[in-house]
Amino acid sequence: MHKQTKIFAKRVVDFMHTPKVCMELGSFCETVITHMADQQAQCCIVLDSHGKLAGILRKDDILSRIVFKVGPNALIDDVMDDKVQTIRPDEYLYHAIGRMRRQNVREIVVVNEAMQPVGIVYLRDAIEIAASHLMEQIDRLSAEGDIDSLREVKAAQVDLAADMFEDNQPATAIQQLLSHVNNDIYSKIVHDNICHMDAEGWGKPPVEFCVIVMGSGGRGENYLYPDQDNGFILEDYDDNDHTRVDEYFRELANRMCRDLNEVGFPYCTGDVMATNPLWRKTVSQWVEQVSLWGRKRNSLALRMADIFFDFKPVWGKNSLAKDLRFALTEMLKSNHFFLQEMYSQQVDHNVAINIFGRLQREEEGDHVGKVDIKYRGTLPLVEAVRLLSFKHGFEETGTLARIERLHLAKVLSDAEKEYLETALTFLTKLLLKNQIRAFQKDQTVTRFINPNHISQAEKEELLRSLRHIEAFRKRMKGEFTADVF
């Protein structure tokens, strides 16, 4: 049965309407009612003197709050609802639907980072494109509450990914959605722990900060059940406040990582988490750390840098991450020696093709006879595209976005863009489908696939994809070593 799961890939910005009536605080209700009638508007968005969202007046409120209570000469300030549900334009539409259903409201106002209204989404319209049998999935994925609720959100991802495959949704789009749901869980856990700490006497965060995820989460390329790769970027503060500030964020990091582990994000075995002071720094400290990695260029520094470079903010003051991204991009663009060293660290990350051009299967360990699709397939491609993006000073983090940007800049030819996108999409689909199948059979979810269990056409496409990646890596050798042989 076709499940119409394309709704889970839709963004709010693609579905929102322009508000018909917007009025400032201090407006008379009679004037507001006239404008709403003229525009046949269901509601009026109320703005403060800076154009920021202050409240909303709905059509139903005209009778219940104005006609029968205060009269038409009252100010809109006295009758509006100042507790308006809001959402950002780049969020997924299913979030808007879930939030409206939970709060029992008919609309949600779309705002930008400055809290200025840029659109509105009506529940009635959104439900029309979401079949009724999808409402349960929407409610599961947008649930809020305790750890058990978030654990249910995590579990719901697998069912949704399977349904999206049935609907022939692109594997990379499914990855983006999985990453979004994971990052949303991060956001809810951080918010809840900040509230709990405040109630327990810790107070509010002593400085502004943002939580970042790194690796596949930062690129929007999560598979099923990624482990934790997270950190904090703190606003700069006086050194005299270090003990107080660090005590707060050390406690928050411990609680956040504990809850993430309970929900279904295993602790990082490499300790790449905000509980480790290495991944919990101010903006200035991060800039100095990145600069230090660039100067040292030893294997440890390169490994740490490689982990960090795909970071993305998931909660807090996003401008901190934006400023750090700019500083990082500028440093990398002007440090060709550092990029050469990064390439030298990755040069042995070969694709799964042997010297005869056939599939290279694992020869030892627990996965003999299988192919490591992640570390011998997608990772060499991700690394190569990332390095080329750094060389040209591009700030994108997603691999497809980087390929697109490199193509627009004429760094990649039309043919290169096509075969790299096709290879990434196919390998992602192959691995993600295999992981879903393993989960549904109560088998261990891994990054390996057995070539004996895929069709002949898939085997041929797998070989073709790996050969394209290998050819691109040979080009990278010329880019970063001036050695084309």
- Sorted by where each begins, the domain ranges of the chain are 5-135, 143-317, 340-481
Q: How much of the chain exceeds pLDDT 70, in percent?
A: 95
Give the mean pLDDT of 71-77.
83
pLDDT at res. 358: 87
Position 129 pLDDT exceeds 70: no
**129 Cβ partners below 8 Å, 6+ apart?**
4, 7, 10
pLDDT at res. 130: 63
pLDDT at res. 134: 66
Confidence category of residue 7, pLDDT binned at 50, 70, 90: confident
pLDDT at res. 229: 95
CATH no., domain 143-317: 3.30.460.10
Give the mean pLDDT of 221-244.
94
Asked if 43 contacts 121 with a C-beta cutoff of 8 angstroms, the reply is no
Position 133 pLDDT exceeds 60: no
Give the mean pLDDT of 179-208.
95
What would the pLDDT profile of 367-399 be if each residue is shown by its tens digit?
899 999 999 999 999 999 999 999 999 999 999
Q: What is the rounded distance in angstroms from the CA atom of residue 397 to the CA atom of residue 215?
A: 10
| Radius of gyration of the chain, Cα coordinates, nearest whole angstrom | 25
What would the pLDDT profile of 29-63 be if each residue is shown by its tens digit?
989 999 999 999 999 999 999 999 999 999 888 87
Maximum mean pLDDT: which of 177-191, 252-266, 293-307:
252-266
Position 2 pLDDT exceeds 90: no
Give me the architecture of the 5-135 domain, per CATH: Roll (3.10)
Give the mean pLDDT of 407-427.
96
- 199-208, long-range: CB < 8 A, 24+ apart: 202/248, 202/251, 203/248, 205/248, 205/249, 205/252, 206/237, 206/241, 206/244, 206/245, 206/248, 207/234, 207/235, 207/236, 207/237, 207/245, 208/234, 208/235, 208/316, 208/317, 208/320
What would the pLDDT profile of 169-188 be if each residue is shown by its tens digit?
889 989 998 998 899 899 99
pLDDT at res. 484: 42
Q: How much of the chain exceeds pLDDT 90, in percent?
A: 61
Give the mean pLDDT of 446-463.
93
Between 78 and 294, residue with greater pLDDT: 78
Give the mean pLDDT of 321-330.
91
pLDDT at res. 234: 98
User: What class has domain 340-481?
Assistant: mainly alpha
